[in-house]
């Protein structure tokens, strides 16, 4: 979470960034505006960490998590939230299609019990055989746009590395666009460490609402 916030702060000088990451233990993240007292009754997963984006409780264990960051001068930044949500999930659809896995975007919603993010779905979530396998949350600031997403891979033989490569290959951000490895300077690493130590690891931050 600290790294994603640091990426958002640095977005004007970075350009678009796609980050893949995983979890070292079962956990749950919850939306920036949620109340901790309600969240802790929704899931037995621990630890709980407040995301810098909105949305609800998301379980993390075997899921594939990613982040996207866009600077204010990128056309994606000017999209309305619903269109941004649609576009990122169309991107995921295209990646799965390259892996010969058919998915669809939910035309409507199916409610689930609080805290069971992947038991139901919202409009434009990614579905596989009627089951939600991808959702996302967003945050827009003067620095840029941050999208945090979770993919629950379908129960078929599928390599995470192949999916990540398909995501990179499926990007259609601008003509001639090419990804390159992100090599941050020491100041960026220091900012991540500061946010991790003083914000996201602090009970007072996670419980402040």
What CATH number is attached to the domain comprising 13? 3.30.930.10
Neighbours of 183 (CB within 10 A): 6
Which one is predicted more confidently, 174 or 20? Answer: 20
CA neighbor of 135 nearest in space, from 193, 56, 203: 56
Q: What pLDDT digit, counting tens, does each position of 14-66 carry?
A: 989 999 999 999 999 999 999 999 999 999 999 999 999 999 999 998 899 99
pTM, two decimal places: 0.94
pLDDT higher than 80, residue 197: yes
Is the residue at 81 inside a domain?
yes
pLDDT of residue 176: 78
Give Rg (Cα) of the chain: 17
Q: What pLDDT digit, counting tens, does each position of 121-164 carry?
A: 999 999 999 999 999 999 999 999 999 999 999 888 899 999 99
Instruction: Give catalytic residue positions.
Output: 117
Is the residue at 40 inside a domain?
yes
Residue 110 C-alpha from the chain's centroid: 21
Asked if the peptide bond before residue 47 counts as cis, ω within 30 degrees of 0, the response is: yes
Is the residue at 57 inside a domain?
yes
**Residue 159 domain boundaries:** 2-200
pLDDT higher than 80, residue 184: yes
Is the residue at 27 inside a domain?
yes
Which one is predicted more confidently, 166 or 177? Answer: 166
Is the residue at 121 inside a domain?
yes
Q: Record the tokens describing residue 126, joined without a space.
A: 């990614």
Is the residue at 190 inside a domain?
yes
CA neighbor of 8 nearest in space, from 190, 192, 174: 192
Which one is predicted more confidently, 209 or 203? Answer: 203
pLDDT of residue 112: 67
CA neighbor of 44 nearest in space, from 101, 100, 96, 115: 115
Neighbours of 47 (CB within 10 A): 12
Q: Residues 84-123, buried b or exposed e (16+ Cβ, 10 A)? A: bbebbbebbbbbbeeeebebebbeeeeeeeebebbeebbe
Is the residue at 80 inside a domain?
yes
Total domains in the fold of the chain: 1
Is the residue at 103 inside a domain?
yes
């Amino acid at each position: 979470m600290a790294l994603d916030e640091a990426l958002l702060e640095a977005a004007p000088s970075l350009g678009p960034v796609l980050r893949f990451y995983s979890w070292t233990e079962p956990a749950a993240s919850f939306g920036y505006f949620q109340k901790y007292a309600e969240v802790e009754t929704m899931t037995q997963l621990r630890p709980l960490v407040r995301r810098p984006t909105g949305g609800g409780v998301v379980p993390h264990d075997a899921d594939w998590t990613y982040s996207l960051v866009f600077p204010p001068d990128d056309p994606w930044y000017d999209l309305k939230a619903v269109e941004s949500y649609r576009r990122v999930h169309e991107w995921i659809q295209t990646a799965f299609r390259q892996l010969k896995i058919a998915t669809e975007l939910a035309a409507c919603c199916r409610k689930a019990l609080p805290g069971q993010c992947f038991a139901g779905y919202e409009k434009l979530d990614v579905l596989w055989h009627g089951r939600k396998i991808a959702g996302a949350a967003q945050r827009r600031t003067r620095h840029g746009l941050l999208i945090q997403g979770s993919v629950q891979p379908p129960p078929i033989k599928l390599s995470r590395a192949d999916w990540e490569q398909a995501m990179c290959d499926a990007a259609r951000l601008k003509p001639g666009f090419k990804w390159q490895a992100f090599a941050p300077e020491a100041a960026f690493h220091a900012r991540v460490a500061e946010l991790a130590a003083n914000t996201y690891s602090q009970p007072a931050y996670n419980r402040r609402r």
